[in-house]
Chain A
């Protein structure tokens, strides 16, 4: 079977070369402070206590793109996020930096604990929503739309600042009932094809479903991830939607309570796995 051959043309060297060319053209290299293989140190950390990152189910060509910041298309979004960090926006005349200072200090590790329970809201909040709360409440600026370039860029940037750190969400205390709801979602059959997440990602992880090698569906430290299929960075909720639609199930809205609860469950399943943002996936 020429599965490998196919992977090479769809996910492999050609795209890497295109992406690399694009990055060079954008003058990206000059502004970049990190070395090309920033995630060198987290190799070998993709499996923790038997829990495997989607990285280990990616084909070698896709992994190579992730491992090389000059080829990784997601790094453009990191760069854009860093710019937005310092950009004044909204009625209060502030930027993120006005209050949070140097993001490399203030935002380090933040990604690893989201979604988390917020007392004032009486429910979970994920990183995208936390960013938007700051925009609305603290900057007098409009919330960024879900899956907009700006929100993706800022989320990717903040994720990137935790790269290599272990995922570490809390599921006890007031978060517990929301965690239980997320878990229920994961195990509930749905759609015309009548499958639950667990049928693919627990029962048949490590097996091919047509041309796709099914991972353990953790992905907790990976998103926003650059998907070669999307030719773009995308949120975890976009991935959830895709996984719902392929079994002909009505997806929820990105940012819905259902997906944020599911996100907590998925990120708990990824506990201890390193943040890979921006990961690269097929």
Chain B
């Protein structure tokens, strides 16, 4: 995975247009453009409006939205039953990962780990046999991604 950021996005979108990743350019899949840096981060937020952590918390629990609890344990969300154990615990994620890297994990974790089970929450291309009513739609909107990040950056284990 030593491709440069632009080539990486273009490759994923199945388009040869390097311009696609430049801020302000309209992507052909209708999603907001973003720039991947060093294959591990998306430094710039997807939207101008700052994320809302309270809504982010709801999205993390909501089975029809983030459903992050299906796979991740989050100590601060003990008010919800049944946290899964598929992915690493996120209780202290803010101490271990900057927002820019969280953003890439949410937008498309397959750039970090091509074989991961974790869904790409902001992606509509390169998918197979998506149910009709979900076709062309990302799991989370750009604003919802920012809301989830705004919540994740509050997650620090009490020391």
Task: Verify that A and B bind, or say they do not.
Answer: yes
Q: Which A residues form the contact surface with B (CB < 8 A)?
A: 1-3, 6, 188-195, 199-200, 203-204, 207-211, 244-245, 248-250
Does B127 lie within 8 Å of A208, measured CB to CB?
no
Q: How far is the CB of A107 from chain B (nearest CB, A)?
A: 36
Would A211 and B82 be within 8 Å (CB), given that A193-B139, A194-B120, A248-B134 are in contact?
yes
**Other-chain contact of B129, A199, A200, A211, A249 (Cβ < 8 Å):** A249
Q: Which B residues form the contact surface with A (CB < 8 A)?
A: 63, 67, 69-71, 81-86, 115, 117, 119-120, 123, 127-132, 134, 137, 139
Q: How far apart sit A208 and B63, CA to CA, in the bound complex (Å)?
A: 15
Does A189 lie within 8 Å of B82, measured CB to CB?
no
Q: How far apart sit A203 and B118, CA to CA, in the bound complex (Å)?
A: 12
Q: How far apart sit A250 and B128, CA to CA, in the bound complex (Å)?
A: 9
Interface centre among A1, A194, A209, A250 (most CB of B within 10 A): A194
Q: How far apart sit A2 and B78, CA to CA, in the bound complex (Å)?
A: 11
- Residues from chain B with a CB closer than 8 A to the CB of A193 are 119, 139
Q: How far apart sit A199 and B117, CA to CA, in the bound complex (Å)?
A: 6
Q: List 13 A-B contacts (CB under 8 A).
A: A1-B81, A6-B81, A191-B130, A191-B131, A192-B134, A194-B119, A207-B86, A208-B85, A209-B71, A210-B69, A210-B84, A249-B129, A250-B131
Does A192 lie within 8 Å of B81, measured CB to CB?
no
Instruction: List 5 extra interface pairs beyond A1-B81, A191-B131, A210-B63, CB under 8 A.
Output: A190-B130, A193-B139, A204-B117, A207-B84, A208-B86
Residue of B nearest to A188 (CB): B128
Q: How far apart sit A189 and B119, CA to CA, in the bound complex (Å)?
A: 11
- Residues from chain B with a CB closer than 8 A to the CB of A209 are 70-71, 84, 86
Q: What is the predominant secondary structure among interface residues of chain B facing chain A? A: loop
Q: How far apart sit A194 and B70, CA to CA, in the bound complex (Å)?
A: 15
Q: What is the predominant secondary structure among interface residues of chain A facing chain B? A: loop
Would A192 and B137 be within 8 Å (CB), given that A210-B70, A248-B130 are in contact?
yes
- Residues from chain B with a CB closer than 8 A to the CB of A1 are 81-83
Interface centre among B63, B85, B117 (most CB of A within 10 A): B117
Does B132 lie within 8 Å of A192, measured CB to CB?
no
Does A211 lie within 8 Å of B81, measured CB to CB?
yes
- Residues from chain B with a CB closer than 8 A to the CB of A188 are 128
Q: List the 9 closest pairs (A to B, CB-CB), nearest first.
A: A211-B82, A199-B117, A192-B134, A210-B70, A193-B119, A250-B129, A190-B129, A190-B128, A210-B82
